Amino acid sequence: MLQRQTGGSAWTRRATLVVLVFMGALLLLASVSVPAQSQTYKVIHNFTFYGGATPYSGPVFDRFGNMYGTDNTGGSYGSGGVYRLSRHGSSWSYTLVYSLKGQKDGAGPAFGTLAIGPQGSLFGTTEGGGYLGTVFEVCPGTDCASTESVVHSFGHGTDGIEPIGGLAFDAAGNFYGTTLLGGVLGNGTVFEGTWSGKGWMVRQIYDFGASSTDAVNAVAGVTIDAAGNLYGTTSFGGTFGVGAIYKLTPSSTGWTESILYNFQGTDDGANPVGGLILDQAGNLYGTTFDGGVNGGGTVYELSPDGTFTTLYSFSGGYGGPYNKLALDAKGNLYGATNGEALYGFGSVFKLSPGSSGWTLTDLYDFANGADGGEPYGSVVVDASGNVFGTAVTGGANNQGVFFEITP
């Protein structure tokens, strides 16, 4: 995973990032927590190499209740692909919808979840293939025979390279995403895709690193509010060099960036790789991979007035949650930690708000056996409170699992 070299200073920065985000693990201990109670954990799919393997991203629901996701490797050509899980009574059936062929087709979908476009097609990004990453579109229905098209190939100009964070659509049907590296300044970009009537036009709308304290190196994609503003995190940069929360505001003359928060690497956390989610009141929620009171990363809230609050600090010395959170209708937050926990291979957690603060419930600790281990992707929660997600290692074939946690 994350193996493509880009040469020169870009590769040096990239190597530093890889060491940062894949080192260490975490132990789920903190001042306010409760153990798992009556949850039931089960594996609903064991990934295999030829059926798609190592699912670094989490799933997304379509309007029919099917779940879609990507696997980073395997499939018919070894370059990963797109899969679907469909419910049949009390069970789920797995289908490899499309196998990426590599090269021009794209290879290695990374951490970003798929985005469902206005016409129901699936849009995603790959770290490799094309030239140095792609945006791709897959039509999963039987009427289009699971076809795939490359929407954009990165690395031929200043558009950026290695888009690993996935995409998000606005109300007008435009999509937005980020690149880890490249662009005019070499520190990554934010890009926009618009439909011209004949095809998609992709252009960068911001280049990170415009100042010595600007945000740089976005692992995560963006989140869009009702006014069309974009929000995101970068794993490096900011005033203290350990990451920042940024906002991009559109106008008739272009996009304007503002830094909403600079991580200090202390109690607030450091190196936020997971991105953000928004609630209806405009509060932003996210995670950091490192830092916090106990050194194992944090979960935080940033309110519209700019107030930053650390909701929870994980223990473990290094390696907190890697991906974005999920929010249910009651205001509970869900996520996964990548390492340590009880057995050293990660966990799934729930944070519940209350009059005295937030309470963490440990929903499951991975043992890296038949149950899987090391979840990198985000989780999703259905209306009944069932939690779904992926783990990269373990399982029957040691190629990762798709799991369900039932309350």
Higher pLDDT, 331 or 320: 331
d(CA 248, CA 222): 10
Query: How many of the other CB atoms lie within 10 Å of CB of 354?
Result: 8
d(CA 80, CA 407): 32
pLDDT at position 320, please?
A: 82
Q: Which two tokens stand for residue 392?
A: 């990269």
User: Is 391 in contact with 401 (CB distance < 8 Å)?
Assistant: yes
pLDDT at position 23, please?
A: 36
Evaluate if residue 4 carries a pLDDT over 60: no
Evaluate if residue 24 carries a pLDDT over 50: no
The one-letter code for the residue type at 317 is G
For residue 32, name the pLDDT band (cuts at 50, 70, 90).
very low
Strand partners, 87: 92
d(CA 356, CA 363): 21
**Coil vs helix vs strand at 175:** strand
pLDDT at position 170, please?
A: 97
For residue 6, name the pLDDT band (cuts at 50, 70, 90).
very low
pLDDT at position 90, please?
A: 86
Residue 389's Cβ-side half-sphere holds a number of Cα atoms within 13 Å equal to: 37
For residue 141, name the pLDDT band (cuts at 50, 70, 90).
low
User: Tokens 């989780």 — which residue?
Assistant: 379
pLDDT at position 339, please?
A: 87
Q: What is the sign, positive or negative, of the torsion defined by CA atoms of 94, 375, 146, 86? A: positive
Q: What is the pTM of this model?
A: 0.90
d(CA 328, CA 315): 25
Strand partners, 236: 216
d(CA 407, CA 394): 23
Identify the top-confidence range among 26-35, 117-126, 190-199, 213-222: 213-222
Average pLDDT over residues 170-185: 97
For residue 12, name the pLDDT band (cuts at 50, 70, 90).
very low
d(CA 309, CA 70): 33
d(CA 121, CA 213): 38
Give domain limits for the chain. 30-94+322-407
Q: 241-297: per-residue pLDDT in tens?
A: 999 999 999 999 999 999 999 999 999 999 999 999 999 999 999 999 999 998 889
Average pLDDT over residues 90-101: 93
Query: How many of the other CB atoms lie within 10 Å of CB of 279?
Result: 12
d(CA 346, CA 327): 20
Query: For 170-179, 221-230, 311-320, which range has the lowest pLDDT when averaged over its residues?
Result: 311-320
Q: 359-388: per-residue pLDDT in tens?
A: 999 999 999 999 999 999 999 999 999 999
Percent of the chain with pLDDT over 70: 88
pLDDT at position 139, please?
A: 86
d(CA 258, CA 254): 13
User: Is 167 in contact with 221 (CB distance < 8 Å)?
Assistant: yes
Evaluate if residue 8 carries a pLDDT over 70: no
Average pLDDT over residues 317-341: 90
pLDDT at position 198, please?
A: 85
Evaluate if residue 30 carries a pLDDT over 80: no
Task: Annotate 144-167 with DSSP letters as a single string.
Answer: GTT-EEEEEE-SSSSS-B---S-E
Q: Are strands 357-365 and 33-34 parallel, antiparallel or unpaired?
A: parallel
**Coil vs helix vs strand at 103:** helix
Q: 331-340: per-residue pLDDT in tens?
A: 999 999 998 7
pLDDT at position 18, please?
A: 38
Evaluate if residue 1 carries a pLDDT over 50: no
Nearest to 393 by CA among 383, 385, 384, 403: 403
Evaluate if residue 38 carries a pLDDT over 70: no
**Dihedrals phi, psi of 216, to nearest 5 degrees:** -145, 155
Q: 62-92: per-residue pLDDT in tens?
A: 999 999 999 999 999 999 999 999 999 889 9
